[in-house]
Structure 1
């Protein structure tokens, strides 16, 4: 799906109303920092994740103060990334030379020479972004799993994932199925319909086989969504699943099957829009289902990120991920997209408990494809020219980079002042105790503000619509 909500409609709801609910333990006091790195992207794209002169701690606080403190901690981060759809992998493997591919994967997944993406989302079988309009699952032959095979993925998806993991050994894979095989469904089609109750066990075993096959390739699944967008039936791979059906499938079939097979993949509910927080809450309210679930996942296409906090408050012992959001030709302005994505995904998503934030397609071509029945004007994090293999880096690349290059897996979100419509922020403390503060000037004029940390402070000025990441030694 694509993001269709007007920019202003969601921005007004996204920030400034978040109250810490269940903070973690206080962190140890930091040693004195002397200077902070500054990395800047401006709304006019004249500066793109550009290193600026360091700012020195020790200045007198001004009138607008952003307090950053590790005395209150929140969720532990898995990271930031995008989906390795069939289309993205096919373009990278088949439309680039080996040197072009290596350079791209370095800029995407290497933290020193790129932005250090640490999570990828992976459709289980075909989706609306599948090369050559190929509709498939891993066993399309009725009526058992004797023909199960991931041979399709071995052609290009698995090689690209292995190459990405070679750039970042901490890479985590978030898998999500668009549909069960047609022979398991009520309408005998990959498009729409429901999972037949008499095929629940078959489908659970199908997903177990998938997890095992990927693990055998050295690519274990970190998490598995029960169903992608269970309230969206479409003229492409999709499957409807109501919350009571999802809870039953999880507690009676999928959860026990994964456990019996010794598969430690985290199982996740919902994986759909912000506007229906009652769905994951209902699934998690089933104690037997909850026993197998690590949490729930959300998409950005309807509602507001505060829905994640609604679910967190109902089940604070379960985690939250923001797993899909796409840019596209419907929103062409760089500065508008920079602001919306920072407000709603990087800042809004993580301030509302997301442990990971992911865009949709990692790569698409100059025609927003290859597509397979879905969005025809979506934008990838990067654009690969299918004729030359050359790469254009889109606004989503820089949005992700402001977080992924500086916030490493295992970082904890910490407290920071955020001023809605003004200087909006989120802060993290990395395992090495370094601190990363992401700050967006959401106002219409340049703004000077003070960052205060551990009794020290520095002043800095951000142009209107600009974002900066500040990083200092803790």
Structure 2
């Protein structure tokens, strides 16, 4: 038995990735510097990795040369790239749109005669089509609304929070279902939706507030019945779709004996800290629900001084902690952005794993892209998390067993010191070192 090790280091702003093979030998009683793997101890199933095709990403993509467009597509969806199988996109505009828009704005048009996906057709749908062509298969797509049309809201605008007017709850549920059906008519597999992006945040961009009770009532009395009436009951509904620190409370507020069948998952973001124990709490209370990371990025407003290594480590640390706590899928935010970190119609600029200089047709793969790939290139959809133990807090460790029986272990070393490892599995052991400030993926 052997293990293939893929190691990425980053020193003096230079990335270096190399591969090596280590053989296992009989375990003669090693006790020190041990990391254990226990494949028979299985936990949650992992559904895969993905990113968001926002209008900003699609617009940026459209400005690149055909050669660089192909490079970007292969980097994310190609068999030799990060092999994404999940996509999230927005219902109507979000902050990472070129400007605000809605598919229709007529309060009297309950038959959706004026409904149009023209904006989606310009930038989002072309990129989604090419992503699927590159992947060679249908991608699993999640739709998330940032705000209902302005006429449906208490503040009369898409921005600055506000709430859904009670008299428009049925109309808004029908609108969401119409959006799903229109995307399906274009051949896309809309498998998942969230009820509202960040329902606890009043933002200067597209946003809408829901209390736990309001989200529950909208789901129970309007959205779910309309999904059923439209033959869309198999679309998985995820609640919350906001930061981890309140995900347990929101799940408890919404899920009861009546709504249990209506909720397939809890979606969460990372912007308020790690809160891995919150994920674990939700998993313990609701073990049959999927826990899906639906958004995270490096915000320039908060992390402008951080370097590529810190940003990449933030991704890897969160992915490892989330999976170990029970996460079932990871969907990053924007696939690509321009060199300013946009476009964003309110200037909320952020980093992305791949950045594009659209003026000079230059593609920059950030270290975060490589770090995400240390997971997504090797962990297959349908993998099971397995048990592991470690001897030091200098390492973050996660391990999974793929459907074909191969075992993947990812080790993150955020310290500057080399960390030795004696990896034990089934009565055998192999030894190697994890360099300082590195990430290592092992495949057995």
Q: Same fold (TM over 0.5)?
A: yes
Q: Which residue of 2 aligns with 1:216?
A: 185
Please list the CA deviations of residues 345-369 of structure 1 after superposition, one character each: whole Å capped at 9, or x if unmatched: x101111111111222111111111
Aligned-partner SS, 1:428: strand
Unmatched 5+ stretches in structure 1: 1-33
Q: Deviations over 1:69-125 (max 9, x none)?
A: 221111111212221111001111x211222211210111113x2121222221111
Aligned partners of 2:248, 2:271: CA distance in 1, in Å? 16
Q: Distance in 1 between matches of 2:391 and 2:316?
A: 14
Residue number among 74, 77, 93 corresponding to 1:106 in the alignment: 74
Contact 1:232 1:239 survives alignment (8 Å) = yes
> Cα distance 1:463–1:381, how it changes in 2: closer, same or farther (>3 A)?
same
Distance 1:122 1:327 in 2: 18
Return 5+ residue gaps in structure 2 as ranges.
none
Note if 1:274 corresponds to 2:244.
Answer: yes
Aligned to 1:138: 103
* C-alpha deviation, 1:165, in angstroms: 1.2
Aligned to 1:251: 220
Q: CA deviation at 1:62?
A: 5.9
Aligned residue for 2:351?
379
Q: Which residue of 1 aligns with 2:395?
A: 423
1:16-415 paired onto structure 2 within 5 Å: 34-44=1-11, 46-48=14-16, 50-58=17-25, 61=30, 63-92=32-61, 94-111=62-79, 113-131=80-98, 134-144=99-109, 145-168=112-135, 169=137, 171-191=139-159, 192-263=161-232, 264-303=234-273, 304-329=275-300, 330=303, 331-344=305-318, 346-376=319-349, 378-415=350-387
Contact 1:185/1:194 (8 A) holds in 2:
yes
Cα distance in structure 2, aligned partners of 1:116 and 1:343: 20
- How far residue 332 of structure 1 moved from its aligned partner, in angstroms, is 2.5
TM-score (normalizing by structure 1): 0.87
Output the CA distance in 2 between the equivalents of 1:352 and 1:82.
Answer: 21
After TM superposition, the score normalised by the length of structure 2 is 0.93
Partners of 1:82 and 1:360 within 8 A in 2:
yes
SS of equivalent to 1:156: helix
What's the counterpart of residue 27 of structure 1? none
Q: Answer whether contact 1:109 1:118 (CA < 8 A) is retained.
A: yes
- RMSD over equivalenced CA pairs, Å: 1.7
Q: Which range moves more in the overlay, 82-91 or 323-332?
A: 323-332
Counterpart Cα distance in 1 of 2:390 and 2:183: 41
Q: Distance in 2 between matches of 1:288 and 1:418?
A: 42
What is the distance in 2 between the residues matched to 1:338 and 1:388? 25
User: Contact conserved, 1:283 with 1:289, CA < 8 A, in 2?
Assistant: no
Matched with 1:11 is none
Tell me the SS of whatever aligns to 2:226: helix
